[in-house]
Structure 1
């Protein structure tokens, strides 16, 4: 592998790790991802840093926590003054490309953050940090195909599944005119015709699926038999935060039966298989062009989808693994290590890992941890825990505040609860080890789960006096994390006297 390898970040939207056979799912076979894993390693315990799109993506591309960079809610974007992964790679000779969904980078330097962007020429905005930009929207709109009548028809139909919590169906469009396929075509065209062969490339191949709308063309819509789809364990919600019961009611999940949950899951899995088949085409083209042996590939997602687990659908302001546990597969040319590892990983680790693999210094202020030493077989100390954040400032809505709500999960009068700002009011932090998870909310609610004996997070031990010591230890770790992650920028250059200089002078 050359000193500056190509870097390919493949990201899906709203996909929990447990959807893949690589993480134990018996219903969905993904040959392309399984072949990728054979050339690298599956990280069994990787987590997003915020269970919503833009905070997760923004923290990933800055290597800094969402609360550090001020992206505390969905649809907020990266402050253009932040230093980002594609910006650093471009400055160090990489050709950078985004193909697919953005939801991280602003398109201008006009910002809602305090203070002016000092250097507009170096700002982290979409068309400055990426040399090649081909965007895609949920549904089937992809740059270069937006005027195609069949693509427009597939996109229009998809929105019939968009406006209710569990809307789903078979898109009548041909697969070749649907977004996932078109993104594969765009990526192949980039590899063959658009990239500069004199430069290494960094490409963010970002699929909007399997996020809502839950729909796919044939053969993918009926590829997975709903009867063979595993159901999540039942959660009675006893002792759970009130915000969970609010979400349960506002998406009318109290009226969803097992048959409906299986059908929606089957469509979700079909969307994932469509992505996998598209990746097979991309990987074949990379092999044909001689790129495989000099390209580091990471496959992941920005956050999960509960898919009926805990009586919830889509994403929410909560910390269950169904929302936060994401697939994380890394292929490194010449990798000789273990094929699976239980080392804990956060998405903010991607930025320093890629920079390390490219031999580029990691900028000050980055809070993620590079995995490069592990991937190259050198000494590596794994994380003891991961931390996930969520929520905006304020008091979350309670059940008593609800006056209107959907009558059933296919009721299209109110849209989906996770799209409402009020659904994300109420800050929280989660600390997770391999054995325990503690969730602390600003309004005083909390959750504690024994992940060894209760991996499905059904029994909240937060108020159980038998586990006071466990809770206190995790609270201590979270306090230390909070102090350690406080922003290190700007760097202190104001003091001119340094004891190290004195020692060197008089040694």
Structure 2
């Protein structure tokens, strides 16, 4: 017997085995968990700003991965943002410019590409694209905006009603799918929260949160809008345009309503009717004090404004507290099941939100609070703990990033860049400007487009308002001083005009006449 031959064969076999194992590990596709909230302002995440709320679980993603300090959207409105994330294309190319358009589910999307390449795919929560989801093995989504209490869902095309609070239900349904999925395939789960979207209805258990917290008005709450014509036409101020019932939770049955704003009086009662009798009782007891306070302050303008802002912040942040709890539950599940090491976790919002800056709530405008969105990613295999980036990134980059992480080629039509470059190299060549275009009409916000560089921002409003604005973000981060036409910024203004046209050509967007 040739022992030398047998020994050599064994060594060769072991070598091939370990080589194949190494190769398999190198090619192993990670799981991808994409968590998106709705209208979650970066100012209301303590990893960005700890003045309003403590969000320990969302912060963990940043602490254990990378946080982006200059992440922006291409179009600050719900449905268009979701379409951009799915397709990696600007609104004018994916067909969803505003909330009224129906998303064409036949077009190429990230979940479809992942599904074709061995991933189990699922989406749970807010969809808001009018057509049914495609490219998902499992989908269970809210119809339209969805409800906070005992909400309807559409599960694989069938209407279903669940008992409970929407944020907690989305968490439970997501975890249920993760537990039942096929364990021999990587997963891609989009967990989309409704919260903290208007009208900010908190979990019953959280109705007393922040009752003892003081919320000072932002420095520019009483912005006069001098030199900014578009802001003068909007109907999105905290002090003048919020609904006494829907937003402030005051029934106002016996009020003199001649000078009180009602946005959707019937909607308030419809949404409360979804509560069980016990929940309704707790709700009314918790908000009883609001009507008493309202009657005390409504004739004093200063106190009334402060009260409105506090009411806005209380309920908005209560909704975020539930989102943070949700993130904690999911991260704990990943740790307990050993999935943490090979799972990419992305947290973001569909856009930013105004928390009283310029006196506003909502989004839409190209000012920083709505344009900028929270974004953080953790992936223990690749991303160092506590990393941060000041590069100009966008939600346009999410689709290419997910595909890159899944070791798939980015299709030619996608317009974003993989963020993987931003954490793998300190000297990455990156964009020096971003392009924005808001198309929707409503709430008095004119259509507009613009460019933002690291320091400057140029905006053009068109349609009913034809107006240009220029900001030096280094010297005027609050965007209070419109410098358009200022002789000291003549060269910068001309350069931004040129760069703006270049970006419109690059992204194939037509220039409005």
Please, what TM-score do these two structures have when normalized by structure 1?
Answer: 0.76
Q: How far does residue 36 in structure 1 lie from its aligned partner after superposition?
A: 1.4
Q: How far does residue 65 in structure 1 lie from its aligned partner after superposition?
A: 0.6
1:126-141 matches, cutoff 5 A: 126=133, 128-136=134-142, 137-140=146-149, 141=151
1:496 maps to which residue? none
2:71 maps to which residue? 46
Q: How far does residue 458 in structure 1 lie from its aligned partner after superposition?
A: 1.4
1:165 maps to which residue? none
Residue 79 (1) aligns with residue 104 (2): yes
- Structure 2 distance, partners of 1:305, 1:57, is 16
Larger Rg: 2
2:487 maps to which residue? 465
The structure-2 alpha-carbon separation of the partners of 1:81 and 1:133, relative to structure 1 and needing over 3 Å to count, comes to: closer
Q: How far does residue 459 in structure 1 lie from its aligned partner after superposition?
A: 1.4
Residue 371 (1) aligns with residue 359 (2): no
Matched position secondary structure for 1:257: helix
Matched position secondary structure for 1:314: coil
User: Does the 8 A contact of 1:17 with 1:304 survive in 2?
Assistant: yes
- Structure 2 distance, partners of 1:268, 1:92, is 40
Deviations 1:142-170 (A, max 9, x none): 5379545xx3xxxxxxxxxxxxxxxxxxx
1:479-498 matches, cutoff 5 A: 479-486=501-508
Stretches of structure 1 that go unaligned for 5 or more consecutive residues are 108-125, 152-176, 393-420, 488-507
Deviations 1:275-311 (A, max 9, x none): 1011111111111111111111110000122132212
**More moved, 291-300 vs 462-471:** 462-471
User: Does the 8 A contact of 1:73 with 1:424 survive in 2?
Assistant: no
- Structure 2 distance, partners of 1:441, 1:135, is 35
- Structure 2 distance, partners of 1:79, 1:438, is 32
Match of 2:118 among 72, 93, 112: 93
Deviations 1:384-408 (A, max 9, x none): 122221024xxxxxxxxxxxxxxxx
Residue 178 (1) aligns with residue 182 (2): no
User: Does the 8 A contact of 1:39 with 1:331 survive in 2?
Assistant: yes
1:475 maps to which residue? 497
Matched position secondary structure for 1:246: coil
Q: How far does residue 105 in structure 1 lie from its aligned partner after superposition?
A: 6.4
The structure-2 alpha-carbon separation of the partners of 1:244 and 1:66, relative to structure 1 and needing over 3 Å to count, comes to: farther
1:296 maps to which residue? 344
User: Does the 8 A contact of 1:237 with 1:245 survive in 2?
Assistant: no
Match of 1:430 among 447, 450, 456: 450
- Structure 1 distance, partners of 2:390, 2:334, is 29
Cα RMSD, aligned residues only: 2.4
Deviations 1:419-468 (A, max 9, x none): xx544774311211221111112243121111112111111112323222
Q: How far does residue 134 in structure 1 lie from its aligned partner after superposition?
A: 1.2
1:331-346 matches, cutoff 5 A: 331-334=378-381, 335-336=383-384, 339-346=387-394
Deviations 1:460-497 (A, max 9, x none): 1123232222221111111111111128xxxxxxxxxx
User: Does the 8 A contact of 1:77 with 1:103 survive in 2?
Assistant: no
Match of 2:192 among 196, 200, 206: 206
2:178 maps to which residue? 191
Match of 1:272 among 320, 340, 346: 320
- Structure 1 distance, partners of 2:422, 2:372, is 21
- Structure 1 distance, partners of 2:428, 2:444, is 36
2:439 maps to which residue? 391
Q: How far does residue 383 in structure 1 lie from its aligned partner after superposition?
A: 2.0
1:238 maps to which residue? 226
User: Does the 8 A contact of 1:71 with 1:78 survive in 2?
Assistant: yes
User: Does the 8 A contact of 1:233 with 1:456 survive in 2?
Assistant: no
User: Does the 8 A contact of 2:62 with 2:386 survive in 1?
Assistant: no
Count of residues in correspondence between the two structures: 412
The structure-2 alpha-carbon separation of the partners of 1:47 and 1:249, relative to structure 1 and needing over 3 Å to count, comes to: closer
Stretches of structure 2 that go unaligned for 5 or more consecutive residues are 1-24, 243-300
The structure-2 alpha-carbon separation of the partners of 1:291 and 1:82, relative to structure 1 and needing over 3 Å to count, comes to: same
2:58 maps to which residue? 33
User: Does the 8 A contact of 1:438 with 1:474 survive in 2?
Assistant: yes
User: Does the 8 A contact of 1:337 with 1:377 survive in 2?
Assistant: no
Q: How far does residue 227 in structure 1 lie from its aligned partner after superposition?
A: 4.2
Q: How far does residue 379 in structure 1 lie from its aligned partner after superposition?
A: 5.1
The structure-2 alpha-carbon separation of the partners of 1:370 and 1:474, relative to structure 1 and needing over 3 Å to count, comes to: same
- Structure 1 distance, partners of 2:433, 2:50, is 25
Q: How far does residue 224 in structure 1 lie from its aligned partner after superposition?
A: 2.2
Matched position secondary structure for 1:382: coil
